């Protein structure tokens, strides 16, 4: 599992450009699938089982990224966010483009000595020209953050763990369903463009019309300085979301997840958060509605 997480998390895949990640996942799930396809938006849909009840498990392949919006005369690139970017994490960050070029994010001089950082419009990407003095990126080119995944015991640090961790968990879940068998049709859906509004999950859920939906994602914890209010901690088990900014878990779905954890002897945590949402937001409103819950990794 550690090797799989590292491989997935280090792969390049900003919103709308998840093809490299999808190819890696396809290689993992193809031996398990009773049906495997890619829908028009790029969601990878893997069905295990052939029962009358349809269960949709979703994890998103994309990572937060950016897109070049303007390049000035000096060759410095401005960018538009793809997903939520926090200014405090941008300065000095490295950005990788699909062609392998890496740039470094800087900030305009007038902000360099201020205590507060600007919004993303005050940052730029410094990208070297090639040996012939030619520009190596163009307007419209997508980028993702560069970084190595490192394990320290049971802890992991790295880029795009949101939501490549969820993708790895979903792959393992499909393996176990295949091994144990199921009376249902279990659809593992590896979605696109979650970071820009869950644009892949809604159409996928509409097409599958599931009887139950579970979104697999990550969540922030309370055991850090100025962390979210609550009691969610690293190492204390998966998080069952009672409510987030997009889903209020139906009591039957929440109880189902709690019973499953307790019957397996797993510790778990329950969280209520505001202001953030997952693919579950769009899954629950597909067609006439889908009972939906969210399981998160702290």
- Looking at 18, 63, 194, 282, which residue is catalytic? 194
Per-residue buried b or exposed e for 79-94, using 16+ beta carbons within 10 Å of the residue's own CB: bebbbebeeeebeebe
Active site residue 194: yes
**Distance between CA atoms of residues 201 and 230, nearest Å:** 28
Annotate 58-116 with DSSP letters as a single string.
Answer: EEE----EEEEEEE-TTSPEEEEEES---GGGTTT-EEEETTS-EEEEEE-GGGTTSSS
What the block records as the tokens of 15 is: 């919103």
**Distance between CA atoms of residues 117 and 106, nearest Å:** 11
Place of tokens 């509605």: 289
Quickly count: other Cβ atoms within 10 Å of residue 201's Cβ.
31
**Distance between CA atoms of residues 116 and 17, nearest Å:** 32
**Distance between CA atoms of residues 45 and 280, nearest Å:** 16
Catalytic residue ranges? 194
């Amino acid at each position: 599992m550690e090797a799989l997480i590292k491989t997935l998390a280090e792969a390049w895949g900003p919103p709308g450009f998840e093809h490299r990640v999808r190819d890696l996942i396809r290689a993992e799930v193809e031996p398990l699938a009773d049906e495997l396809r890619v829908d028009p938006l790029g969601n990878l849909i893997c069905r295990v089982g052939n029962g009358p009840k349809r269960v949709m498990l979703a994890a998103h392949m994309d990572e937060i990224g950016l897109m070049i919006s303007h390049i000035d005369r000096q060759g410095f690139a401005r960018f538009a966010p793809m997903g939520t970017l926090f200014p405090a994490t941008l300065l000095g960050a490295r950005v990788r483009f699909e062609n392998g070029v890496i740039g470094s994010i800087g900030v305009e001089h007038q902000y360099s000595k201020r205590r507060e950082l600007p919004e993303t419009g005050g940052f730029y990407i410094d990208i070297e020209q090639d040996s012939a003095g030619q520009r190596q990126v163009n307007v419209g080119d997508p980028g993702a953050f560069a970084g190595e995944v490192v394990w320290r015991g049971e802890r992991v640090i790295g880029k795009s763990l949101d939501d490549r961790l969820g993708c790895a968990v979903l792959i393992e879940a499909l393996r176990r369903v295949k091994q144990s068998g199921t009376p249902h049709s279990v659809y593992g859906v590896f979605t696109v463009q979650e970071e820009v509004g869950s644009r892949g999950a809604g159409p996928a859920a509409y097409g599958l019309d599931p009887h139950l939906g579970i979104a697999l994602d990550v969540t922030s914890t309370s055991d850090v300085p100025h962390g979210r209010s609550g009691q969610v901690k690293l190492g204390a088990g998966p998080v069952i979301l009672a409510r987030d900014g997009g889903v209020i878990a139906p009591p039957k779905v929440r109880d189902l997840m709690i019973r499953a954890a307790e019957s397996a002897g797993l510790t778990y945590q329950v969280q209520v958060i505001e202001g953030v949402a997952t693919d579950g937001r769009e899954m629950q409103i597909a067609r006439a509605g889908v009972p939906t819950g969210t399981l998160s990794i702290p």
